[in-house]
Structure formats: structure tokens, C-alpha cells
Amino acid sequence: MSTRAGRRDVTLRSAFGEFVRHPSPWMIAGLLVGAVVARVWIGGWGMADLLVPVVMVAVFPIVEWLIHVMILHWRPRRFGPVTLDTQLARKHREHHNDPRDIPLIFIPWRSLIPVLIAALVVAFVLFRSVERGLTFLVLLGALGLVYEWTHYLIHTDYKPRSPLYRATWRNHRFHHYRNEHYWFTVTTSGTADRLLHTYPDPQSVAKSPTAKNLHALDEAG
């Protein structure tokens, strides 16, 4: 599968073959495998090991929404002579400019490194026990892989088959091709968008002229 190939039939097998060619899935998978091995080795299971996954799965759509809105759609800001513009925001603008450019679909590995370090700090500093911190890392790794795979698959030519994936696919396509101010969830079908009022009737939303040029930065220079 080429980086900017024309539309073609894509199977899950061929999509997965491309998916594993990129660094971020391997980095997240490394976190997941390491956390699983350490969690099983340490033991000390308790009810909190059930509570942590339930809470994380419940809040993940909201966290995903917040990251998408506040970090990925960050508008560059000037503070005196300094312009604050993160790599994540820059790469996301490039992703909107060309949603079919496969490398731009993935979390940039240079940005992912500090994210993984921050996850380790949260797990081993903020949690009251190593056991629960490792449970947190297991779920974080699993959710991270779900995000990367779902986001990647949506931007391939794989045709949706299940109703749930079709709805998720449609919402993210609306975000890219109709209006970038709505439909911010990626791995679920409008969950946080419904809660945070960014899930309008698509027919009521005008097509945005800046969906492929976030913040109109090209025009603004």
C-alpha cells in the first residue's frame, strides 16, 4: 500500500500490514506488553484492578475529545518574540491538509516519547500503589492501540461493515471533509461529542472552507 495511493480495495490483513510499518503502534505495544508482564509478575490483585479499567474506558472519549480540541487543534500563539506551536499541532494541520497521507495519520514518534514518559510518571507517582499504576498502564496501552488502529483504518480505503464502525467512520469523515469544528471523537460514535455539543445533524452544518487548512494559516501566512 503506497503512502498516497489512489482508492483501492483494502482488507483488514493488508491494512494491518501497513499499520505495523509505523513506529507509534510498536511504541505503544511495547508499553502494553511491558505493563502486562510486570502486572502479572507482581500480582496483588484487588477490586481496584476492576475499577481502574471501568473508569478509564468511561472517561476515554472525553479525554480523546479534549486532546483533539485543545492539543491537536491548538492555534499557534505568539508570546512576545516567541511563537508557541507544538509538533502535534503542526502535524495535525498537515494531516487535515492531506487526510490520505498515511504517515501523518499516526502519532509522531518524537511527540509520543514524552507522552509515554508522562504516563510512567502518572503510574508510579500519582497512583498509591505500583499494582494499580501498572493496571493503569495496561489499559492506557490498550486504549492507545485502539486509537491508533481505529484512526488509521478510518483513513484507509477499508469499507465499513459493522454498524458501529460505520458510524465511527462516518463521524470522523465529517470532521475532515465537512466541518473541522465538530465530530472530535475518533474511537467511538459521537459519545463525547453528544455530551459536549459537537454532534450536530450533518445536514445542518455548512461545509467549512478551512477543514483542510486549519485556522486558515496558509492564507494568513
Tell me the domain boundaries of the chain: 13-161
Q: What is the pLDDT of residue 49?
A: 94
What pLDDT does residue 30 have? 98
Can you give the pLDDT at residue 80? 86
Look at residue 218 in the predicted model and tell me its pLDDT.
63
Q: How many angstroms separate the CA atoms of 183 and 189, rounded?
A: 9
pLDDT at 216: 87
Residue 221: its pLDDT value, please? 37
Q: Which of 137, 153, 141 is nearest to 187 (CA)?
A: 153
Question: CB within 8 A of 153, min separation 6: which ones?
Answer: 15
d(CA 217, CA 213): 7
**Which residues of the chain are under the pLDDT cut of 50?**
1-5, 219-221
pLDDT for residue 3: 45
Nearest partner of 116 among 91, 88, 85, 140, judged by Cα: 140
